Structure 1
């Protein structure tokens, strides 16, 4: 919680609430990003609408979209699913690098 002291929570909330207006600025650039990306959404996120993740996933050619049945903190509210998702992603990406 100390990370949110001195108004940092309000500033981070303002930042993420601006995503819908700011994401289109990146729209034309996203298809050129070939790096694998794991996009993670929280279906009941109070700060970041799940549509932001869908927007990114639809435009990033090497992305995977995973949605959690949680609020803004899926690593706490859906910890087992979150951890399994991250571990699976890292293992799969590691396997791709090892094959190359």
Structure 2
């Protein structure tokens, strides 16, 4: 179960996955925060807040037994791998689905 803020941040971060891009990659923390700020200018979004929210979701799912969501499991260099695995898991489990893109209405994509 995701909070509203977690869902919104993950939809922005994983927009390319929800749009079924051929080779999707997560947005950066900075890009995600900028788009969230465009959607909710008064909510205080910044790269660190996005990173903390997404990391909390990864840790929670990892504790529930979802593999490949920690640095220890993936190994170095990590790059976007942890967020890629997280987003793929959220789509596979249908926690995030393409209709969630409606949360981005009004955002210039």
Q: Determine which structure has the larger strand proportion and give its number.
A: 1
The answer, yes or no, to whether TM exceeds 0.5 is: no
Larger Rg: 1
* Larger relative contact order (Cα-Cα within 8 Å, sequence gap ≥ 6): 2
Provide the TM-score with structure 2 as the length reference: 0.25
Provide the TM-score with structure 1 as the length reference: 0.26
